[in-house]
């Protein structure tokens, strides 16, 4: 029973273009959402977050959008760079539990 | 300043053997989490502790899995007996405020292969 779903296992984007990673959730009790980035042989690292009372949060090239009615969030990376190639995990919080999606592999081609 | 430290980084063992994974959280963090990463399910929460006390172990797959946190600076995840389907990367993470808006800091993971 996956409460956080990332339906695209992988995404390939040209350098300089926009990368859009999507995430859907089923539990309406989630009140905080995060994106983590993971390079091979390393642990995930925090990238950006958004509270359920907001619909957008920006941090440099990274913007997270939240659509509560659709239970959907997305991460936009503009412009994409080769160093952004990694696995991106969507995560949601309820209480003290952080629930992750399965991840999306992003490849940025130069 | 040291991050979350996990050992061993790699473990190869045979089915039926006992496996112990170790974690040293960041000093001052009062929450500790154990996650397992697989291709199919991504990052699954196995168990988490608050102030050394296990709070939620509903993600622990079977009785073969156990976790302890004897003090604020050390935790173990034990699998006994191990099976090939336990092969995965196991991550430990710590934080100040649990998951409630708080960032989790992950270790580099322990890659377990059970033959």
A100 chain-B contacts, CB cut-off 8 A: 35, 42-45
Put simply, the answer to whether B106 touches A101 (Cβ < 8 Å) is no
Put simply, the answer to whether B98 touches A43 (Cβ < 8 Å) is no
A6 touches chain B (CB under 8 A): yes
pLDDT digits (tens, 9 = 90+) for B36-54: 998 888 899 999 999 999 9
For testing contact with chain B, the best of A44, A48, A103, A105 (most B CBs within 10 A): A44
CA distance B80 to B78: 6
For testing contact with chain A, the best of B35, B39, B42 (most A CBs within 10 A): B42
A42 chain-B contacts, CB cut-off 8 A: 108-109
pLDDT digits (tens, 9 = 90+) for A85-105: 999 999 999 877 889 999 999
Instruction: Please give the backbone phi and psi of residue B15, each rounded to the nearest 5 degrees, phi first.
Output: -50, 135
Mean pLDDT calculated for residue range B8-22: 97
Average pLDDT value for chain B:
93
Contact B36, B111 (CB under 8 A): no
β strands within A1-110, DSSP E: 4-5, 10-14, 19-25, 32-38, 45-51, 56-59, 62-67, 72-77, 86-94, 97-100, 104-109
CA distance B112 to A90: 24
B49 touches chain A (CB under 8 A): no
Say whether pLDDT at B1 is over 80: no
Contact A76, A62 (CB under 8 A): yes
**Residue B2 CB coordination number (10 Å):** 7
Mean pLDDT calculated for residue range A31-57: 94
Percent of chain B's residues with pLDDT above 90: 84
Put simply, the answer to whether B42 touches A32 (Cβ < 8 Å) is no
Q: Which of residues 26-55 of A touch B (CB under 8 A)?
A: 32, 34, 41-46, 49, 51
């Amino acid at each position: 029973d996956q409460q956080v779903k990332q339906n695209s296992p992988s995404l390939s984007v040209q350098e300089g273009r926009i990368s859009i990673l999507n995430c859907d959730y089923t539990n309406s009790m989630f009140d905080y959402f995060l994106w983590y980035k993971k390079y091979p042989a390393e642990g995930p690292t925090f990238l950006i977050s958004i509270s359920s009372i907001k619909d957008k949060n920006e941090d440099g090239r990274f913007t997270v959008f939240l659509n509560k009615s659709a239970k959907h969030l997305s991460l936009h990376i503009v412009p994409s760079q080769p160093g952004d190639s990694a696995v991106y995990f969507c995560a949601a919080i309820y209480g003290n539990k952080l629930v992750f999606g399965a991840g999306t592999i992003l490849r940025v081609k130069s | 300043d040291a991050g979350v430290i996990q050992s061993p980084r790699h473990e190869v063992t045979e089915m039926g053997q006992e496996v112990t994974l170790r974690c040293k959280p960041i000093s001052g963090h009062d929450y500790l989490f154990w996650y397992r990463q697989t291709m199919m399910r991504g990052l699954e929460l196995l168990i988490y502790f608050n102030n050394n006390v296990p709070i939620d172990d509903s993600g622990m797959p079977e009785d073969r899995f156990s976790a302890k946190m004897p003090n604020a600076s050390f935790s173990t995840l034990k699998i006994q007996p191990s099976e090939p389907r336990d092969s995965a990367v196991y991550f430990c993470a710590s934080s100040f405020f649990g998951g409630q808006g708080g960032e989790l800091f992950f270790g580099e993971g322990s890659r377990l292969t059970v033959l």
